[in-house]
């Protein structure tokens, strides 16, 4: 059997409205996935589900919102305490608003549609009732149009097979505008959104047909599709999550499917793998192997709420942050530093540095005779920046070398466009500082070198020179004569450094 989520989709026809009079029957609550009535001995008791707070979506002025984790998160037992003058960030502030994530936005929107009954997921079995037969007919239409390679009789046979069941995605039908449709609405009142007409005000917009094998502990997905005009909205992921929860309710541990080439990528995103871990003896003889398809498996975990993955991820992230508070200072905020006012400072004097690297500093102090050397011993690659700051003679020698290179760069025949900061009016580049956010020139580099504290390594000096030429390329583009001068100048100072 082939499961696919094709892109060429069409919506199914709505259920006829005039059949309301023939459907006066006494039914129990509808077998939805969140609270379904037992439709077969395989059904299990419904459990209390996590429900997101959808009220945050009602405030149009509130762009950012937060979701609650799926379970309570214990606080850090012994978090690192901030020193005097510093403060701590709450876990909520560290993670930021959940609305910044696209998957959270889609999930909240889908949950809101289900809460307002704009969409709903129902379990459909061929029990002979008119209501379910109409649903199965709608599912068959969707599958046939979405899976053009599947023969219509084959799809019809499996969808209406009593051993199969389906999770149908229903959407509330939009009432036609007044005067449209070619019928007299005075004689016959059509169902509109919000009316209590059972499923007569809904249309089938997708579904998943599968056959459970409770004794073997797995289910086989036969068909899965979403109508074309409802795709790329998260319905496919939500439908798969509903199917997984239904499979868990039936006591299934695995879901298997034979996916065609167009569906392999989709099923991978939904947690399916080409590696089959289910014992071969359990599914051998139950699933037919076809040419041109890939057998894929998804293992279901009892403790995972597939309908609320974003809330579960929020809980995991919060738990990780709380654990990090016990071993790191990532939650501590130190006051800012005005480096220019202080005319530079030692790296080890930066607030928070000694706390972040206290262990490494202690180890280095023991290997260097008690001197504070930073992240590595003097002369090592990781300590080059700090060691230049700690040795005045080395710093003086470095500045002397950098001044020599800068003098040669200034004297270069192609350096004239970069001697001073760009004057937009004089040069005609009126939008220069709108395009270039971090301007650089030789005059600015000279001032930084004269300060005596800015260039503590050759790499910082080289970075400013590179920024100067990169800005030229960004503003003027390739092939411009000023860009060619910048590239020539870059080759020159790269050789000198």
Q: Is 220 a catalytic residue?
A: yes
Q: What percent of the chain has pLDDT over 90?
A: 45
- Residue 99 CA to residue 106 CA, distance in Å, equals 10
Question: CA distances (Å), 494 to each of 153, 481, 497, in order?
Answer: 72, 20, 5
Write down the pLDDT at residue 183: 44
Write down the pLDDT at residue 426: 86
Examine the pLDDT at 449 and tell me if it is beyond 50. yes
Tokens of 7: 């892109």
Query: What is the three-state SS of 307-321?
Result: HHHHHHHHHHHHHHH
- Residue 471 CA to residue 89 CA, distance in Å, equals 37
Residue carrying the six token digits 């510093």: 86
Residue carrying the six token digits 């000096």: 461
Give the pLDDT band (50/70/90) at residue 451.
confident
Angle between helix 309-327 and helix 102-115 axes, rounded to 10 deg: 140
Give the pLDDT band (50/70/90) at residue 54.
confident
Write down the pLDDT at residue 452: 83
In the chain, what is the straight-line distance between the N-terminal and C-terminal CA atoms, in Å?
Answer: 66
Most confidently modeled range among 59-63, 199-203, 426-430, 442-446: 442-446
Q: What percent of the chain has pLDDT over 70?
A: 75
Quick one: average pLDDT of 49-65? 77
Examine the pLDDT at 217 and tell me if it is beyond 90. yes
**225 contacts 206 by C-beta, under 8 angstroms:** yes
What's phi and psi for 209, nearest 5 deg?
-105, 130
- Residue 74 CA to residue 70 CA, distance in Å, equals 13
Q: How many CB atoms lie within 10 A of CB 123?
A: 22
Tokens of 231: 């795709």
Where residue 436 falls (left for φ over 0; alpha for ψ -120 to 50; beta otherwise) is beta
Kindly report, residue by residue over 388-443, the tens digit of the pLDDT: 445 788 888 889 999 999 999 999 998 899 999 999 888 888 898 999 999 999 99
Q: Which residues pair with 165 in a beta bridge?
A: 125, 210
Better-scored residue on pLDDT, 257 or 24 = 257
- Residue 224 CA to residue 267 CA, distance in Å, equals 11
Give the pLDDT band (50/70/90) at residue 95.
very high
Kindly report, residue by residue over 270-300, the tens digit of the pLDDT: 999 999 999 999 998 888 767 778 899 999 9
Considering only 57-66, 175-184, 323-332, which range has the smallest mean pLDDT?
Answer: 175-184
Rounded to two decimals, the pTM is: 0.65
**486 contacts 473 by C-beta, under 8 angstroms:** yes
Examine the pLDDT at 21 and tell me if it is beyond 50. no
- Residue 235 CA to residue 227 CA, distance in Å, equals 10
* DSSP conformation letters of 396-445: HHHHHHHHHHHHHHHHSTT-GGGSS---HHHHS-TTHHHH-SS---HHHH
Catalytic, out of 114, 131, 220, 297 = 220
Better-scored residue on pLDDT, 405 or 195 = 405
Kindly report, residue by residue over 318-372, the tens digit of the pLDDT: 999 999 999 888 888 888 877 666 666 666 677 777 666 665 555 555 554 443 3
Please, how many CA atoms are within 13 Å of residue 330, restricted to the half-sphere of its CB? 13
- Residue 11 CA to residue 230 CA, distance in Å, equals 8
Examine the pLDDT at 158 and tell me if it is beyond 70. yes
Write down the pLDDT at residue 232: 83
Within 8 A by CB and 6+ apart from 484, the residues are none
Among the listed residues 35, 80, 130, 59, the one whose alpha carbon sits nearest the alpha carbon of residue 331: 80
Write down the pLDDT at residue 74: 92
Among the listed residues 5, 13, 12, the one whose alpha carbon sits nearest the alpha carbon of residue 231: 5
Among the listed residues 215, 210, 193, the one whose alpha carbon sits nearest the alpha carbon of residue 202: 193
Quick one: average pLDDT of 40-50? 48
Angle between helix 152-159 and helix 130-146 axes, rounded to 10 deg: 150
Write down the pLDDT at residue 63: 79
Examine the pLDDT at 27 and tell me if it is beyond 70. no
Tokens of 254: 């695995």
Give the pLDDT band (50/70/90) at residue 465.
very high
Examine the pLDDT at 91 and tell me if it is beyond 80. yes
Considering only 8-17, 162-171, 237-246, 412-421, which range has the smallest mean pLDDT?
Answer: 8-17
Among the listed residues 99, 107, 117, the one whose alpha carbon sits nearest the alpha carbon of residue 52: 107
- Residue 133 CA to residue 162 CA, distance in Å, equals 11
Write down the pLDDT at residue 177: 56
Q: What is the mean pLDDT of the chain?
A: 79
Examine the pLDDT at 24 and tell me if it is beyond 50. no
Among the listed residues 240, 255, 238, 222, the one whose alpha carbon sits nearest the alpha carbon of residue 146: 222
3-state DSSP helix/strand/coil % of the chain, to nearest 5: 45, 10, 45
Write down the pLDDT at residue 193: 32
Where residue 36 falls (left for φ over 0; alpha for ψ -120 to 50; beta otherwise) is beta
Write down the pLDDT at residue 22: 37
Better-scored residue on pLDDT, 221 or 23 = 221
């Amino acid at each position: 059997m082939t499961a696919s989520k094709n892109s060429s989709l069409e919506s199914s026809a709505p259920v006829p409205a005039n059949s309301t009079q023939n459907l006066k029957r006494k039914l129990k609550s509808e077998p939805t996935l969140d609270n379904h009535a037992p439709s077969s001995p395989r059904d299990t008791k419904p459990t209390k589900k996590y429900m997101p707070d959808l009220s945050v979506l009602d405030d149009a002025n509130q762009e950012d919102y937060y979701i609650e984790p799926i379970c309570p998160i214990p606080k850090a037992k012994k978090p690192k305490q901030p020193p005097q003058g510093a403060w701590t960030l709450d876990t909520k502030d560290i993670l930021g608003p959940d609305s910044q994530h696209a998957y959270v936005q889609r999930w909240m929107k889908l949950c809101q549609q289900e809460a307002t009954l704009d969409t709903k997921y129902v379990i459909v079995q061929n029990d002979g009732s008119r209501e379910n037969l109409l649903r199965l007919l709608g599912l068959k239409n969707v599958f046939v149009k979405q899976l053009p390679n599947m023969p219509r009789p084959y799809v019809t046979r499996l969808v209406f097979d009593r051993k199969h069941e389906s999770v149908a995605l229903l959407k509330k039908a939009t009432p036609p505008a007044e005067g449209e449709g070619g019928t007299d609405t005075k004689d016959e009142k059509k169902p509109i959104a919000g009316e209590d007409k059972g499923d007569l005000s809904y249309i089938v917009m997708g579904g998943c047909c599968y056959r459970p094998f409770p004794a073997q502990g797995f289910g086989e997905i036969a068909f899965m599709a979403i109508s074309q005009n409802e795709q790329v909205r998260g319905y496919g992921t939500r439908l798969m999550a509903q199917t997984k929860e239904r499979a868990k309710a039936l006591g299934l541990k695995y879901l298997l499917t034979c996916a065609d080439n167009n569906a392999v990528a989709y099923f991978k995103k939904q947690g399916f793998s080409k590696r089959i871990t289910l014992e071969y003896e359990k599914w051998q003889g139950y699933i037919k192997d076809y040419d041109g398809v890939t057998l894929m498996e998804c293992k279901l975990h009892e403790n995972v709420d597939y309908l609320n993955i974003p809330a579960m991820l929020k809980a995991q992230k919060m738990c990780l942050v709380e654990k990090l508070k016990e071993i790191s200072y990532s939650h501590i905020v130190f006051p800012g530093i005005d480096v220019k006012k202080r005319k530079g400072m030692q790296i080890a004097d930066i607030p928070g540095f000694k706390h972040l690297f206290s262990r490494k500093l202690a180890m280095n102090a023991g290997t260097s005779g008690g001197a504070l050397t930073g992240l590595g011993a003097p002369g090592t690659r990781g300590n080059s920046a700090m060691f230049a700051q700690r040795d005045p003679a080395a710093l003086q020698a470095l500045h002397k070398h950098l001044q020599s290179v800068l003098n040669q760069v200034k004297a270069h025949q192609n350096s004239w466009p970069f001697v001073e900061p760009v004057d937009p009016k004089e040069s005609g580049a009126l939008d220069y500082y709108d395009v270039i956010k971090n301007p650089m020139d030789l005059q600015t580099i000279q001032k930084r070198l004269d300060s005596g504290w800015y260039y503590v390594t050759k790499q910082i000096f080289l970075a400013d020179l590179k920024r100067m030429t990169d800005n030229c390329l960004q503003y003027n583009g390739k092939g411009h004569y000023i860009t060619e001068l910048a590239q020539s100048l870059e080759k020159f100072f790269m050789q000198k450094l």
